[in-house]
Structure 1
Amino acid sequence: MSHGHHHHVDPDSGDGKIALAVAINLGLTVAQVIGGIVAGSLSLIADALHNFSDAIALIIAFAARKIARRPANADMTFGYGRIEAVAALINYTTLIVIGLYLVYEAAMRFANPEPVAGWIVVIVAGIALLVDLGTAALTFRASKSSVNIRAAFLHNVADALGSVAVIVAGTLMILFGWAWVDPLATLLIAGYILWQSATELPQVARILMLASPDALRTEDVIAALRDQPGVTDVHHVHLWLMEEHGAAFDAHIVAAQGTDPSALRHALKSYLKSEFDLNHVTLELETQDAQCRDAKVIGH
């Protein structure tokens, strides 16, 4: 059974849309900050801060996307693809800092409630919601193929939900005069931001920590190799994510007596590509008489 995971991604797709999304988010941030100050609404300013982080996230994502296309060189022999994971880490870390700051500000506002102009909050947040949904639509397609763009896309989705919370809060303040709803909405926005970051960070960490792909068990690859004709043992195995959509494999193969090393290496590389979609493969062949002693199966 094949374990292939093929991804055909146009590296240039979506660049114009991402640039447009950056411009829209920067404009929206300015409008929300002004509206929040005029209305005296912490939740609207919280939404503006999150929106500003959206713009920064998109700028970082856009720059990383460009850098990732550079070819390998003497300094970066594996290429620049992993920069997208680094950018995603920066974006999620920024989200966590923003989320914690909003929790603090909401707690202070609960202790010292202030009057809020509900109509301004509802109108500005309504405009923000439309912009957030439009921006998310611009980055949705690119988010499917890039952990980096997905981080920026999720910024926008979270901000759209934040705008909904602000609209609800503003409506309740208009109808009932409940000033405490404003910091409550801020806490909801902050909670979602923190939850979102906590669920997405592990995948980014796996890439940066050279972990194996989620959908591919190292033990399965080892077992499959040991079953191949001409192979008597496999050790010193490494299987890791080069970047989000590319895994690499490295191993020592002990060849059976009388096996042609060149033919065996070629056959195993072809097998690993067709069965497990492993394109970056390095195999060191050993004889039974001159193989590594007391070698670990996984790692050195």
Structure 2
Amino acid sequence: MAKKSACNQQSNDKITKSSLLFSILLNIGITVAQIIGGLISGSLSLLSDALHNFSDVLSLTVSFFANRLSKKEASIEKTFGFKRAEIMAAFINSFSLIVIAVILIIEGIKRFKTPQQIDTSVVIVLSLIAIFGNGLSVLLLKKDSKLNMNMRSAYLHLVTDLMASLAVLLGGLLMKFYSIFWIDSILTFIIAIYLIIMGYDLLKKSFKILMLYTPDDIEVKQIVSIVNELPNVKSLHHIHIWQLNEDETHLEAHIDFNSNIKVSEFGEILYTIEVILQEKFKINHVTLQPEYENKDNKDIIVQD
């Protein structure tokens, strides 16, 4: 059964890598076409979409290598391996989304003040190509986006770019048939705001993991209350709870006992605590330091 599970995992990894590689190559082609088309047509929204597509190329590349790194085994020098590589990728990708959005807003405001004539035929054709390419990439990565934060960040890049391309197409049609050239700047601004909204949530989540925040859904005081009710347990204190990545949540703490118990008794209590923390809080790595009549700080949170 374990062998079958391992084979399935390897198969999923190959599919993920293939999907990422195909999406990278597809977005490189779209980016080059949009940059050339944006310069020829004079469309800022098309150039902004090209810039966003280029950020997709970078984010997908980062995600691809992060995905590969995260599978490497731990070593003496790297006892956790590269398990945080995908969290780092998610942070970089989400931060890049926000930076790009700010640049687009600045350029959009400048262009709004001085609208320019735009070759709408080029805008419409290239936005249709981008919609097809990004739509295909979104479909390829939709399933993988549920795997972890890294793949979700790559998927979000592609979804936002699909939305941006749809907006550029709409703008191109309005400019072609109604000569509303200021719509180019408005659409650029809307795309940018959407990028900020999408990027901020992922940036916040990845930042919290990198900074070793306690996961939002875990109540530390509730854990202390439950553990302290166990037989012979006097105090659970000096607690640290953090996520190594999206799959691993760690807890380390000191546990004070009412009597000088045997090591075998501590092993039984530890097992009970591990089961409770796994079932109630999804904490899957527990390290406890047993104590008896130790004069250390008994606060729940202690600054090391």
Please tell me whether residue 298 in structure 1 is matched to residue 301 in structure 2: yes
Q: Assess if the C-alpha contact under 8 Å between 2:238 and 2:297 holds in 1.
A: no
Find 2:285's aligned residue among 257, 280, 284.
280
Please tell me whether residue 141 in structure 1 is matched to residue 146 in structure 2: no
TM-score (norm 2): 0.90
2:87 match: 85
Structure 1 residues without counterparts, runs of 5 or longer: 1-8
1:178 match: 180
Find 1:52's aligned residue among 51, 54, 58.
54
Bigger RCO (CA 8 Å, 6+ sep): 1
Find 2:245's aligned residue among 231, 243, 246.
243
1:224 match: 226
Residue identity matched to 1:269: E
CA distance in 2, matches of 1:160, 1:105: 21
Find 2:111's aligned residue among 102, 109, 112.
109
Which stretch has the larger CA shift, 213-222 or 183-192? 213-222
Q: Assess if the C-alpha contact under 8 Å between 2:235 and 2:298 holds in 1.
A: no
Q: Assess if the C-alpha contact under 8 Å between 1:265 and 1:285 holds in 2.
A: no
Structure 1 residues 107, 274: CA separation in 2 closer, same or farther (over 3 Å shift)?
A: closer
CA distance in 2, matches of 1:42, 1:268: 59
Please tell me whether residue 264 in structure 1 is matched to residue 259 in structure 2: no
Deviation at 1:242, TM superposition (A): 1.1
| CA shift digits 1:163-183 (9 cap, x unpaired) | 111111111111111111111
Q: Following TM superposition, where does structure 1 have runs of at least 4 consecutive aligned residues deviating by more than 4 angstroms?
A: none
Find 2:207's aligned residue among 205, 208, 212.
205
Q: Secondary structure at the match of 2:171?
A: helix
Residue identity matched to 1:272: L
CA distance in 2, matches of 1:143, 1:43: 27
CA distance in 2, matches of 1:224, 1:137: 44
Q: Assess if the C-alpha contact under 8 Å between 1:234 and 1:253 holds in 2.
A: yes
Residue identity matched to 2:76: A
User: Percent identity among equivalent residues?
Assistant: 33
Q: Assess if the C-alpha contact under 8 Å between 1:14 and 1:141 holds in 2.
A: no
User: Structure 2 matches for 1:12-161, cutoff 5 A?
Assistant: 12=13, 13-161=15-163
CA distance in 2, matches of 1:144, 1:292: 47
Structure with the bigger percentage of helix: 2
Residue identity matched to 2:83: G
Q: Secondary structure at the match of 2:244?
A: strand
Deviation at 1:50, TM superposition (A): 0.3
Structure 2 residues without counterparts, runs of 5 or longer: 1-7
Q: Assess if the C-alpha contact under 8 Å between 2:228 and 2:234 holds in 1.
A: yes
| CA shift digits 1:28-79 (9 cap, x unpaired) | 1111111112211111111011011111100000101111112222222222
Count of residues paired in the alignment: 290
Deviation at 1:209, TM superposition (A): 1.0
CA distance in 1, matches of 2:192, 2:275: 49
TM-score (norm 1): 0.91
Residue identity matched to 1:69: K
| CA shift digits 1:81-128 (9 cap, x unpaired) | 111111111111211221111111112212222110112211110111
Q: Assess if the C-alpha contact under 8 Å between 1:212 and 1:247 holds in 2.
A: no
What is the CA RMSD across the aligned residues, in angstroms? 1.7
